[in-house]
Structure 1
Amino acid sequence: MASKSVDRRGALALLTSAVGGVGVGGCLGRGRTSDPPPSVTVLAAGSLNNAFENGLRPRVDARLQVEAHGSAEVARLVAGESKDPDVVALADVALFDGPLHPPWYAEFATNALVVAYDDDDAGGRRLAEAAPDRWYRPLLSGAVSLGRTDPDLDPLGYRTLFVLELASEYYGLETDLREAIPRREQIYPETQLVSQFETGSIDAAVTYRSMAEERGYDYVSLPPEVDLSTPRFADRYATVRYELPSGKLVAGAPISYGGTVRYDAAPVRGVFDRLTNGTYLDEFGFVVPDDYPTYTGDVPDGIAN
């Protein structure tokens, strides 16, 4: 684990005069109460939803409105003008190079893929017994029911395919796991994937480590050559590809979460500062490298120092 992130810039001050003349003492006069805090909307990757709702929300002054979907779907919704959020936060910064094209973005956290399992059922125990180096065998034999997400809707879905292909090469298998394991009935929405353990629908899931840890499920850690977590294996990761319905070809790369501000206002900047700098991300299973957040593009004055 990287060391915990610190608030390197500190929160940007919220300009209360910009939100309706709220009085310093929170009271506008006898018998009157202050206006409610400003609302800031965030459209986010499904894997960020819990961290934003339960970690970020208590740390900001604004009324936070979070909506979560798979990142590829988020990008399409914004690019197609179906959604108009103040802040966009995605699980794959490649999506900021199409279908979204913001003038700048910040990278603020990393993650790893794991195979989570439910140790309370027989299928989960079979997978645990096959770990750490033969975890794929019960998946190939059908002895473990697997859950995954839709590669057309979110990076977790296509990263699952990347992991399977990379694992085939890493373990020197004649069988292509990417071809042999996936089936359509395995697919669930990202925000509901790990909860399928609780309904008994699946025994295991390829998911982000953060999602397994926040729910308290056991998981098989994959080799860094496979789990998309380690920059020094970027060239290896880049050998795998997936074509989205738009025709965009995404390549394997170290996992990095990114966000951008679409409407520049003091309350939005305040939320974005906390979103990209808060130690809350470590608490929810993400990794925040010491040099994060990092910035790409024409970053406005005052966003990054």
Structure 2
Amino acid sequence: MRRDVAGPSRRALLSALPACVLAGCSGALGGGETVSMLVAGSLNDAVENGLRPAVDTRLQSAAHGSAEVARLVADGAKDPDIVTLADVALFDALLSAEWVAEFATNALVVVYDPDTVAGDRLAGGAPWYEVLLDDDVSLGRTDPDVDPLGYRTLFCLALATDHYGTDRDLREAVPRPDQRYPETQLVSQFETGAIDVAIAYRNMAEARGYDYVDLPPEIDLSDPALADRYGAASYELPDGTVVSGDVISYGSTLRHDAPPTRDVFETHTTGAYLTEFGFTVPDDYPRYRGNVPDGIAN
């Protein structure tokens, strides 16, 4: 097995700020001076410390797992100006959005604390899946019922079983209920000593400067050429919606159209801050689908 350990990770000068609590995440623009956003948890750091300084408009932002974000909007509990999810499929499955801009991608990695026994094993070259099978290792992951990172973790484990030819079904053997943490709090569990290892997005590890193991593209959900392979894995959400494995792709839509929201949306989906905060932006992104308003897709 080829094991790639990232070199010295980029350490962000600013740690992720907590997302503000929105009073209903209202779409009211307040005289054109405030734009409200509801975004995927893995974007929280980038939005707070990258997007916010890059726009002149005052932002109100909140971050949750993407499935939770979609349900809050679909149920009418939140009405933000901009909605951004870590899985573009949820726009169709839960929101029936008229149009979406796909604007960034990511990859799954295995993040670890090198000062733990598990981290020392990973740094020394032990296969990551063997480390996760050890009952003494505390793994952190997110809830698949509310967050794409959670069900993508299960996809990764299922694909890894086949890729490595393991004797045990990793999707069945590794996950336990006590491993689940909110996406916005996952990597911070290293700081409290609650976990030794986590399956997370690469940008989350790089933002905090944590050591991580790069996974092969056959299982890290990053390679468009392997989309059919990823699609062999699936997960059923509590409402019966079935989501299938695919390339990780972030999407956004503008729900309340006005000059301030357009300005924020354009910077949000095309800004240089995305790569600075660990996301990958393919050459053909952003790409648009659906009934896109005039002037959005140039």
TM exceeds 0.5? yes
Give 1:224's match in structure 2, choosing from 217, 222, 225: 217
2:250 corresponding residue in structure 1: 257
Shift of 1:123: 2.2
SS of structure 2 residue aligned to 1:107: strand
Residue-pair matches, total: 270
Deviations 1:238-257 (A, max 9, x none): 00000001100000000000
SS of structure 2 residue aligned to 1:225: helix
Q: Could you tell me which runs of 5 or more consecutive residues in structure 1 were left unpaired when the two chains were aligned.
A: 1-17, 21-36
Cα separation, 1, equivalents of 2:77 and 2:183:
20
Q: Is the contact made by 1:128 and 1:135 (CA closer than 8 Å) also made in structure 2?
A: no
Alignment of 1:283-302 (within 5 A): 283-302=276-295
Q: Is the contact made by 1:113 and 1:209 (CA closer than 8 Å) also made in structure 2?
A: yes
2:196 corresponding residue in structure 1: 203
Give 2:34's match in structure 1, choosing from 17, 27, 39: 39
1:88 corresponding residue in structure 2: 83
Q: Is the contact made by 1:127 and 1:144 (CA closer than 8 Å) also made in structure 2?
A: no
Q: Is the contact made by 1:108 and 1:256 (CA closer than 8 Å) also made in structure 2?
A: yes
Cα separation, 2, equivalents of 1:181 and 1:197:
19
Cα separation, 1, equivalents of 2:49 and 2:90:
26
1:274 corresponding residue in structure 2: 267
Q: 1:240 to 1:57 in 2, by over 3 A?
A: same
Alignment of 1:182-201 (within 5 A): 182-201=175-194
Alignment of 1:132-143 (within 5 A): 134-143=127-136
1:105 corresponding residue in structure 2: 100
Is structure 2 residue 174 aligned with structure 1 residue 181? yes
Shift of 1:103: 0.6
Cα separation, 1, equivalents of 2:199 and 2:213:
10
Is structure 2 residue 47 aligned with structure 1 residue 52? yes
SS of structure 2 residue aligned to 1:42: strand
SS of structure 2 residue aligned to 1:141: coil
2:66 corresponding residue in structure 1: 71
Q: Which runs of 4+ in 1 moved over 4 A?
A: none
1:89 partner letter: T
Shift of 1:61: 1.1
What's the RMSD between the two structures over aligned residues?
1.2
Is structure 2 residue 159 aligned with structure 1 residue 166? yes
Cα separation, 1, equivalents of 2:229 and 2:104:
21
Q: Could you tell me which runs of 5 or more consecutive residues in structure 2 were left unpaired when the two chains were aligned.
A: 1-28
Deviations 1:202-254 (A, max 9, x none): 00100000000001000010000000000000010000000001100000000
Is structure 2 residue 118 aligned with structure 1 residue 123? yes
2:15 corresponding residue in structure 1: none
1:62 corresponding residue in structure 2: 57
Shift of 1:40: 0.2
Identity of matched residues, %: 67
Cα separation, 1, equivalents of 2:124 and 2:75:
46
Shift of 1:129: 2.4
2:141 corresponding residue in structure 1: 148
SS of structure 1 residue aligned to 2:102: strand
Shift of 1:282: 0.4
Cα separation, 1, equivalents of 2:214 and 2:149:
16
Cα separation, 2, equivalents of 1:121 and 1:140:
16
Shift of 1:19: 7.6
